[in-house]
Amino acid sequence: MTVRFHEVVFLPSGRRATVPDGQTLRDAARSLGEDIEAICGGKGSCGKCRVRILNGSEGGLHSEMGHLGPLSEAEIRFVEAGNLRSDERLACQARVRGDIAVWIPEESRAQRQVILKGPTPRPISVVPIIRKYYVELVPPGLSDPIGDWERLSGELADRFGLAGLSIDLHALRSLPATLRRAGWKATVTVWDGREVVRVEPGYVEKSYGVAVDVGTTTIGGYLCDLTTGETAAASAIMNPQIAFGEDVMSRIAYAKEHEHGLAELHRALISGLNGLIQDAVRKAGLGTEDIVEAVIVGNTAMHHFFLGLDVGPLGLSPFAPTIHRSVNVRARDLGLEILPSANVHVLPVEAGFVGADNVGVLIAEEPYRRDEMVLIVDIGTNGELVLGNRRRLLSCSCATGPAFEGASIKFGMRAAPGAIERVRIDPETMEVQIGIIGEGELPRGICGSGIIDAIAEMLRAGIIRKDGGFNRDTKGPRLRPDPNGLMEFLLVPASETAIREDIVITQSDVRAVQLAKAALYAGARMLLRRFGIERPDRVILAGAFGTVIDRERALTLGMFPDVGIENVVAVGNAAGDGARIALLNRDKRTEAERIAREVEYVELTSERGFEEAFIAATHFPG
């Protein structure tokens, strides 16, 4: 069968591609590095990938709307709701049937997120799994022609008591040249007292490792001195898998529905990690092969994508992972560009979607050593909760959805330059003050911390009721009907925005936040009920998002039980800190394995009374 091809040009960049008949505009754009928002993973449900189709001669080709396939059911819904104009299509739905010119508006471009994943200052006891030994060997002679490895291993056994060592093939291959070039004086790197992973010429004091927190949206990495425990460099990137979908379930669906989907997602993640590592070693003035150990944490889906494990079962009840226990694997087997023989340690998974990242949080915060009752809340697309103390720990996973990350919000966006991150509303005049990410930026949309602020302020000002509905008695022109007669609140008029549109909060935006916060609160209530208590003594907000939201406004919305603002503490990227701790202290890996098995996982969907608690929690407190 003959496959037809068509020309596609994207403006204003002018990039063009020849694509097969039937390919989506989104896939064509991705092949050229044109980053179009893909929050829903190409399902056509978020509407963030709107593009404008140009008619006439553009870029040396004849373009018209008829050169695309018919509107999909998803697009028809947007048209009927008045959210898709006659010259617009959704890039994830529109299929190329002829030459086409496409204008990508600024608001549809994936923006580089402002990433806050730096290390938190914590005292860490260094108990290294990697050790270095300096040796000076007697060169071989006719009277003593034993092999280089036997000569080296014998010296290590005699001088340091390291009997029965093995050597990695990568290190073995470089051994003869290294020893002879260095005049038989070398530094040997030994992993876990069992295996030689590197031989370097001369005396080398330092060893380095990398700890990585693989988040659904962002990835943070810390390059650490394995002797002193100091962080030599930190780096962070957007998770490149975002191109396949904003949330975990979208990516799992992509892996299942595409023949090579899992491999694509695995490669995208490894490629992103390699870029992150290269950035970190460049900052520290090192080489990638100077990294001799790595520790990885992430939720269960990221854990599986990283290892290239089948994610299909994670999308179906009972959400069983391929493996619970920790994993040790060679860097070269994953394509990770550090020392090929380096060990990569992946912390264990708890259960379902409560993954290795939560185990990292636990060994960082150590609720199992406390007497007070602590609720740890990791807010993200998939919220994770842990409640307990030294006597017992319970955990659960809450499907909060992407509202807290700016998705499923009409003018929602990531925490990128131009995002509204702070909102204050005068309850007397209804005048709005906003804080925007980026100096001198005009607002383009609103990110997660901004939407929490906005709705909390609207609640305080009486613009919305406790049930989430708009109060039509609100004075002033900001509360108004939209073209469909539904109410919306004007945050910023079009004349003051970068997108030349009014930025508003809609009723559906309020509902999305209600559902997200209800999932967290109801999850916490189920865990508290298991303990027979009304509230914890302390709430710990883990994750980078916890450091940027306003704690008082989060309490106003009822995102978690009210313990008094003085007992709500943000601890930063605790999952990443847990990865650093496991990298620097081998004993903590054993502890992580034990704690992961001791935590009792609560499956909320089968918990009696959860649905009623969830419905009740959709109301705002007060």
The continuous run of DSSP H or E covering 290 comes out as none
Looking at the structure, do residues 273 and 376 belong to the same domain, yes or no?
A: no
Asked if residue 227 and residue 189 are part of one domain, the reply reads no
Residues 572, 425 share a domain: no
The range of the structural domain enclosing residue 531 comes to 365-402+518-617
pLDDT at 116: 52
pLDDT for 509 equals 94
- pLDDT number for residue 111: 57
| Cβ-Cβ contacts under 8 Å for 171 (sequence gap 6 or more) | 196, 197, 198, 199, 341
Domain-terminating residue out of 495, 512, 529: 512
Cβ count near 482 (within 10 Å) = 14
pLDDT at 464: 96
Across 37-47, average pLDDT? 76
Contact predicate 305/241, CB 8 Å: yes
Strands (E), 66-120: 88-90, 100-103
- Is residue 540 a contact partner of residue 571, using CB atoms and an 8 Å limit? yes
Check which CATH number belongs to the domain holding 261 and give it.
3.30.420.480
Give me the phi and psi of 158, to 5 degrees please.
-70, -45
Q: What is the pLDDT of residue 390?
A: 96
CA distance 2 to 30: 24
Q: Is residue 48 part of a domain?
A: yes
pLDDT reported for residue 89: 94
In terms of domains, do 337 and 255 share one?
yes
Please tell me the predicted confidence (pLDDT) of residue 538: 95
For a pLDDT cut of 90, what percent of the chain falls above it?
66
Same-domain pairing of 141 and 276: no
Residue 462 lies in a domain: yes
User: According to the model, what pLDDT value does residue 537 have?
Assistant: 96
Q: How confident is the model at residue 497 (pLDDT cuts 50, 70, 90)?
A: very high
pLDDT bracket for residue 539 (50, 70, 90) = very high
Could you tell me if 186 and 253 lie in one domain? no
> 125 in a domain, yes or no?
no
Q: Dihedral angle at the C-alpha atoms of 60, 63, 67, 73, nearest 10 degrees?
A: 130
pLDDT at 619: 95
pLDDT at 325 over 70: yes
Residue-level pLDDT at 113:
53
pLDDT of residue 400: 80
* Same domain for 269 and 411: no
Average pLDDT score over the chain:
90
Domain edge (last residue) among 151, 166, 201: 201
Kindly state whether residues 459 and 605 are assigned to the same domain. Answer: no
What CATH number did the domain enclosing 153 receive? 3.10.20.880
| Same-domain status, 397 and 432 | no
| C-alpha to C-alpha distances, 236 to 273, 420, 609, nearest whole angstrom | 9, 22, 40
Q: Indicate the range of 238-252, 449-463, 567-581 predicted with least confidence.
A: 238-252
8-state DSSP, 59: T
**pTM (two decimals):** 0.81
Distance CA 546, CA 535 (A): 19
User: Which pLDDT value is given to residue 37?
Assistant: 78
pLDDT bucket at 327, cuts 50 / 70 / 90? very high
Question: Do 251 and 308 belong to one domain?
Answer: yes
In the predicted structure, residue 418 carries a pLDDT above the cut 80:
yes
Q: Is residue 356 part of a domain?
A: no
Please tell me the total count of domains within the chain.
Answer: 5
Tell me the sheet residues that pair with 225: 208
CA distance 434 to 491: 8
pLDDT at 110 over 80: no
* Torsion sign (Cα): 32, 34, 36, 39: positive
Average pLDDT over residues 110-139: 80
Asked if residue 336 and residue 236 are part of one domain, the reply reads: yes
pLDDT confidence of residue 117: 55
Highest averaged pLDDT of the listed ranges 18-32, 45-59, 460-474, 535-549: 460-474
Query: Would 408 be classed as within a structural domain?
Result: yes
CATH code of residue 94:
3.10.20.30
**Higher pLDDT pick, 10 / 291:** 291
Residues 340 and 223 in one domain: yes
Predicted confidence (pLDDT) at residue 88 exceeds the cutoff of 70? yes
